Amino acid sequence: VVTGGQPAAQRIPGGSTDPARQQSLRRHNLALVLAHILSGGPAPSRADIAGQVGLTRTTVSALVEDLVQARLVTELPALRSRTAGRPAVPLVPAAGTLAAVGIEINVDFLGVRVLDLAGEVLAEKVLAGDHRSSDPDRVLRSVATLVTTVLGRLDGDIPVAGACVALPGLVDSPAGPLRLAPHLHWSGVDVAGRLATVRALRGVPVRLANEATLAAQAEAARRGPESFLYVSGEVGIGGALVRDGRVRLGDHGWAGEIGHLTVDPRGPECDCRATGCLEVFAGQDALRRAAGWELDRPVAELSTAGGPAVVEALRQAGEALGIALAGAVNLLDVQQIVLGGCFAPLAAELVPAIDAELRRRVLSAAWAPVQVQAAVVGDYPALTGAATAVIDAVAADPASWSARIA
Select 194 or 260, whichever has its Cβ closest to a second copy. Answer: 260
Helix (H, G, I), strand (E, B) or coil at 139: helix
Distance CA 195, CA 150 (A): 14
DSSP per-residue letters across 10-42: GGTTSS---HHHHHHHHHHHHHHHHHHHHSSSS
Cα angle, residue 310 at apex, residues 260 and 240 outer, rounded to 5°: 30
Taking the complex as a whole, how short is the minimal distance between the CB of residue 367 and a second copy, in angstroms? 6
The distance of closest approach from Cβ of residue 332 to a second copy in the complex, given in angstroms and rounded to an integer, is: 6
117 DSSP assignment: T
Residue closer to a second copy by CB (options 159, 225) is: 225
Closest distance to a second copy from the beta carbon of 360 (Å): 5
Nearer to a second copy by C-beta: 4 or 19? 4
Taking the complex as a whole, how short is the minimal distance between the CB of residue 352 and a second copy, in angstroms? 17
The DSSP-derived string for 225-276 is S--EEEEEESSSEEEEEEETTEEE-TTTS-TT-GGGSBS-TTSPBPTTS-BS
Strand order in the sheet with 160-167: 121-128, 109-115, 99-105, 160-167, 206-210
* Minimal distance, residue 212 CB to a second copy, in Å: 12
Minimum distance of a second copy from residue 216's CB (angstroms): 14
CB of 217 to a second copy, least distance (A): 16
Least distance in angstroms from the C-beta of 170 to a second copy: 6
* Closest to a second copy by CB, 218 or 328: 328
Name which of 82 and 273 has its Cβ closer to a second copy. Answer: 273
162 or 169: CB nearest a second copy: 169
Q: Which is nearer to a second copy, 286 or 394 (CB)?
A: 286
Give the binding site for a second copy (CB under 8 A). Answer: 3-5, 170, 172, 179-180, 182, 227, 239, 241, 249-258, 260-266, 272-274, 277, 323-324, 326-328, 330-335, 360-364, 366-368
What does the alpha-carbon distance between residue 363 and residue 353 come to, in Å, rounded to a whole number? 17
Torsion from C-alpha of 147, 99, 233, 328, nearest 10 degrees: 130
Give the Cβ contact number of residue 22 at 10 Å: 15
Separation between Cα atoms, residue 323 and residue 282, nearest integer Å: 11
Nearer to a second copy (CB atom), residue 317 or residue 383: 317
162, 170, 235, 178: which is closest to 387 by C-alpha? 162
Q: Are 11 and 25 contacting, i.e. CB atoms less than 8 angstroms apart? A: yes
* Helix (H) or strand (E) run with residue 404 in it: helix 398-405
